[in-house]
Amino acid sequence: MQVRSDQAIDADRCVALDSVPGVQGAVALRFTDSVISPVVRPDNPIPVVETAGDAATLLGASTAPQPGLLLPDGLATVIGAERGSNLPLTSGEQVAVRGIYNFPEDGRDSRLASSAVAGTADHRPFDECWIHVWPVNDKLLDLVLYAADSGADDAAIPEVNQLNTTLGTDPGFDAQFRERGTQLIAAAGVGLFVLVGFAAVWMRRLEISTSLQLGVRKRHLILQHVVEGATWVLPASILLGSIGFAIVMTSARPPDASALLEELTVHALAAVAGVLVGGALAVLTVNPNLQYTYLKSR
């Protein structure tokens, strides 16, 4: 995965992630304006990407026991570079080629497919931190943001992305959640709360029918029982919602927490509405002419 924040990645923090269990490698990258121009391809200079950390291991490069550049295999073939060789430049200098790495065009970030990778001891802020994580651990997704220095001047909000956006892509958990078959359970839950509100008021059907016999209007009785229902369903919802809020905030990652809190709020409001609607329906159902029947069924 990649953590991007232009000129705000701390190399030491990034490389330190390599020691975290589950992290197979971590390298900081700085995309510079520097280029090299091989003699065999003078009109097509090669961009230089500076790195801190073990880039050879992260990229799976085949290396020689000497310092130098790492080149993608496709580019190395074009310019005739080999592991352990020296690459002549148009400036008259030669640069050592430490190793060759495979970087196929399979959907991954293609910038390193046409760049030369050079290690550097200059630890000024970098642009990205590439981390190889396996197996994927949700807790590590928060930890990798540690590589970004939020105190850097003009630091952008760090972004966490996959290196390859086609193979191993995001499985679309949000869409799966919205389209889940169990969402009908939520609707059934609302129906259950309607029944609870109905039952709570229906137990007082004799009282309600007596009030109707005495001339009290139904709309006044509905208002009365809605207010009375609110006096117990609102505190219950607030209490249970607070427990749910605490569980979400202590166990869910920030991006998931907001979605879960939204769902929690919707269901809490639906429960309150269901109870109040059920109570109103119960009042509407009471028939004052059946008062004797209600009395016998007590």
The Cα 71–Cα 36 span in angstroms is 12
Its pTM stands at 0.53
The Cα 49–Cα 46 span in angstroms is 10
In the chain, domain spans: 2-170, 175-296
Q: pLDDT tens for residues 201-230?
A: 999 888 888 888 888 898 999 999 999 999
Q: pLDDT tens for residues 103-120?
A: 887 777 788 889 999 999
For the stretch 242-271, what's the b/e string if a residue is b when 16 or more beta carbons lie within 10 angstroms of its beta carbon? eebbeebeeeeeeeeeeebbeebeebbebb
Are 34 and 45 in contact by the 8 Å Cβ rule? The answer is: no
**245 φ/ψ angles, rounded to the nearest 5 degrees:** -60, -45
The Cα 242–Cα 264 span in angstroms is 10
pLDDT confidence tier of residue 189, bands split at 50, 70 and 90: confident
State the amino acid at position 84 in one-letter form: G
Q: pLDDT tens for residues 20-74?
A: 888 888 999 999 999 999 999 888 899 999 999 999 988 989 998 889 999 999 9
Half-sphere exposure (Cβ direction) of 202: Cα atoms closer than 13 Å: 13
CA distances from 79 to 45, 64, 83, 98, 117 (A): 11, 18, 12, 15, 15
CA distances from 249 to 4, 157, 242, 243 (A): 26, 22, 11, 10
Residue 166, C-beta contacts closer than 8 angstroms, at least 6 positions apart: 106, 107
pLDDT of residue 289: 82
CA distances from 209 to 117, 194, 202, 216 (A): 85, 21, 11, 9
Residue 83: helix, strand or coil by DSSP?
coil
